[in-house]
Amino acid sequence: MDYLEGLNPEQKAAVQQIKGPVMIIAGAGSGKTRVITYRVTHLIRNGVDPFNILVLTFTNKAAREMRERIMHLVGTEAKNIWMGTFHSVFAKLLRVEADKLGYPNNFTIYDTDDSKSVLRAILKEMNLDDKLYQANFVHNRISAAKNNLISWQEYQQNDQIQADDHSTGRGHLGKIYEMYVNRCYRAGAMDFDDLLFKTNELLKTYPEVLNKYQHKFKFLMVDEYQDTNFSQYLIVKKLAAVNENICVVGDDAQSIYAFRGANIQNILNFEKDYPDLKIFKLEQNYRSTQNIVNVANSIIANNKEQLKKNVFSEKESGDKIKVMRAFSDNEEGKLVAEDIMHQRTTKGLKWHDFAILYRTNAQSRSMEEALRKLGMPYKIYGGLSFYQRKEIKDLIAYFRLTFNPNDEEALKRVINYPKRGIGDTSVDNIIVSADQHGITPWEVIINSAKYLNRAPASLPAFATMIQSFQVLTKTQNAYEAALYIAQHSGLLRDLYEDKSVEGLNRYENIQELLNGIKEFSEREDLEEKGLDVFMQDVALLTNDDNDKDKDADTISLMTIHSSKGLEFPQVHVVGLEENLFPSQMSLNSRSDLEEERRLFYVAITRAESKLTLSYATSRFKFGTLISCEPSRFLDEIDAQYLELDFTARPESTQKLSFNDERNAWTKREDTFSKPKTPVKTTSILAKAHVPSPGFKPSDTSNLQVGMEVEHERFGFGKVISLEGNKPDIKATIFFKEIGQKQLLLKFAKLNIINS
């Protein structure tokens, strides 16, 4: 039992409780991964067959790390555990049972781009306004429906949903949903949401399948349970219903994904589902200093909906949390960059010891500019995944088409790349013929003489090529097959002949993909090493699963959402301003505001030894310079843990509490911002301007000084001056109600009243 010796008493108790329903509330930095891996190890050491253990995570990275640790403790038996993300585990289950739902076992998994491409084609066929029915909006609407287990039939029959759609002028959404589902089915494809939606359908429709997996998965563990949505919750509840050996691990204080369907009530109400539940609280934070933990506690204490716990740290007290104030977002970037440079130089740190976290991606601009000016290396995380690059998606589309020739999105992507004389008109004719005859486009292609009046001369050769790939993959391993397809499709040659910098990068990326496939083909822990097995994994990879630069010595820039699960010695959280953080969108309800506070909690607890917070008193937004108020979250921090660095302006004041300092600063702001020529101003509580009936923004390309205008928010005003060159002309306008404003014309929505 030596693996239990390094655990604290609460961790040890959680590991040893293997029977019945268990909830482990794991505070930030409390050794959650260790407890999960040791608990699985304890199950196996106590005679549980690994084939009967199901462990569900939210990232491939977490699953991979856990499996490696368990293998170190119990050996190769760990390979037999069903462990992975919800999507990967249930994709595996669906491949076994797919025929019951009318899908092929080698069904394609559509990513978001594929799904949006299908939707754009449907919108075009239906002649719908793609501005009203934006593919992003439609995709999100369908995704939300599936995650709430609403089929297209139920969607169309639900009066409330139909009323909502018609009230926004989008009455065709139900029909689009129906066509989208049918189009994916015809292509033998499921999207990401289907992997859970179809699993629920399978378990509901086929009791014998549910019974099979209830008895197979005798022990269930779910990581990050606070992030589960309704669909995931139901799957887990059904599978655990017979044995009730279910253990969920999570932290309600880190529930930050409501925007993608996560329901915090799943963890808050878990005890209602299992009254005989045993609860263990992991409250010791091994990551952060006492000051950082205390700040996090003082913030999250303001939330009403929470599972109470007392997180503590036995590390040193550490530095106080520094709060920096800047005039503008650009100055904030400068202050952050200079502070990182100072810390690195004086403390002998590496660049990768620092992270800059922000609420929205747009905030990275000012940070990037400041870092570049000082020659400081950085990397933005959460950007384009390796597997989302065009050249990678092109080659993978060839792989997809080889295994599932009915995959319409893959077909459209490669049928004329590299160019082979099969243009858009020919592709449209193929699809129209398929629709008319109730068959797939692939069936039209392999019988082109029968279904097409004028088929491109190269179409039969394309069909023969794909069929040759199908034959080859049955006898070759993944690497041999992938290399053959890359060469004989003409893709590799096309990229090699492009000698531009971009072309060379694309060619190198393809080589990197082939290298990854070769590594896969040489893995000793896999019995099956075909390209089809590799493709099943690739379809479910995320941004962190193929990061060639993960060990690079660079400063990390990312949104707070992207930082979940990570840790850094020093963290800067920037943009702590009202309407930015907390977001303006979160101020309509307590639940939304509490989620923003949990997001701030996550940001704070990424820091190990030093945490710095900053805000700007003004920031450009949509081309307009706006005044900013410090975030309410700063007010909620116990002042004893803060160190105020308000040296951005030359005059200094005595050390005050944050609120007093802010109030004093606000008074000085009035003095600094007082214009030489008095202008009429009103309270910020003044009644908002109501646009005139029929208000419509004018063409401002010929706007001149002296013209009277109306702004939809600022009201009526007169143009005082114009400066700059097109398209970046700035207009200074005196508005009757709020005084003088400077607006960037390309963004400002002005109605010219008279000239």
Find the distance separating the first CA and the last CA of the chain, reported in whole Å.
86
DSSP H or E run through 248: strand 246-250
Residue-by-residue DSSP string for 76-96: GGGGGSEEEEHHHHHHHHHHH
In single-letter form, the type of residue at position 470 comes to Q
The Cα 650–Cα 420 span in angstroms is: 68
| Nearest Cα residue to 299 out of 740, 603, 658 | 603
Residue 104, classified by CB atoms within 10 Å of its CB into exposed (0-12), middle (13-18) or buried (19+), is: middle
Residue-by-residue DSSP string for 524-593: TT-S---HHHHHHHHTT--GGGS-TTTTS--EEEEEHHHHTT--EEEEEE---BTBBTTBGGGTT-HHHH
Alpha carbon separation from 518 to 478, 479, 571, 578 (Å, rounded): 7, 5, 38, 51
The Cα 452–Cα 428 span in angstroms is: 11
Q: Which of 16, 33, 156, 732 is catalytic?
A: 33
Residue-by-residue DSSP string for 451-481: H-SS--TTHHHHHHHHHHHHHHTTTS-HHHH
To the query of whether residue 33 is one of the catalytic residues in this protein, the response is yes
Phi/psi at 229 (5° precision): -100, -175
The Cα 392–Cα 378 span in angstroms is: 25
The Cα 602–Cα 162 span in angstroms is: 38
DSSP H or E run through 626: strand 624-627
To the query of whether residue 224 is one of the catalytic residues in this protein, the response is yes
Residue 241, classified by CB atoms within 10 Å of its CB into exposed (0-12), middle (13-18) or buried (19+), is: exposed
- Assign 276 to helix, strand or coil: coil
To the query of whether residue 518 is one of the catalytic residues in this protein, the response is no
The answer to whether 328 and 334 have CB atoms below 8 angstroms apart is no
Which residue pairs from 131-139 have beta carbons closer than 8 angstroms and sit at least 24 positions apart in sequence? Answer: 132/169, 132/170, 133/170, 133/172, 133/173, 133/176, 138/173, 138/176, 139/112, 139/115
With both helix axes pointing from N to C terminus, report the angle between 390-403 and 501-521 in degrees, rounded to the nearest 10: 40
Neighbouring residues of 584: CB distance < 8 A, sequence distance ≥ 6:
none
DSSP 685: T
Q: Which of 97, 114, 191, 224 is catalytic?
A: 224
In single-letter form, the type of residue at position 308 comes to K
Angle 318-324-327 from CA coordinates, rounded to 5°: 175
To the query of whether residue 49 is one of the catalytic residues in this protein, the response is no
Q: How many CB atoms lie within 10 A of CB 628?
A: 20
To the query of whether residue 223 is one of the catalytic residues in this protein, the response is yes
Instruction: Please report how many Cα atoms fall inside a 13 Å half-sphere around the Cα of residue 285, on the Cβ side.
Output: 30
Q: Which of 254, 284, 570, 617 is catalytic?
A: 254
Q: Which of 10, 11, 12, 32 is catalytic?
A: 32
Residues in the chain, total: 755
Neighbouring residues of 429: CB distance < 8 A, sequence distance ≥ 6:
452, 454
To the query of whether residue 290 is one of the catalytic residues in this protein, the response is no
And the tokens for 606? 């990424």
Q: Which residues pair with 324 in a beta bridge?
A: 614, 645
DSSP H or E run through 493: helix 491-496
Neighbouring residues of 464: CB distance < 8 A, sequence distance ≥ 6:
none
Q: Which of 194, 223, 332, 710 is catalytic?
A: 223
Alpha carbon separation from 416 to 412, 423, 490 (Å, rounded): 8, 7, 11
Angle 224-60-379 from CA coordinates, rounded to 5°: 100
Annotated catalytic sites, by residue? 32-33, 223-224, 254, 606
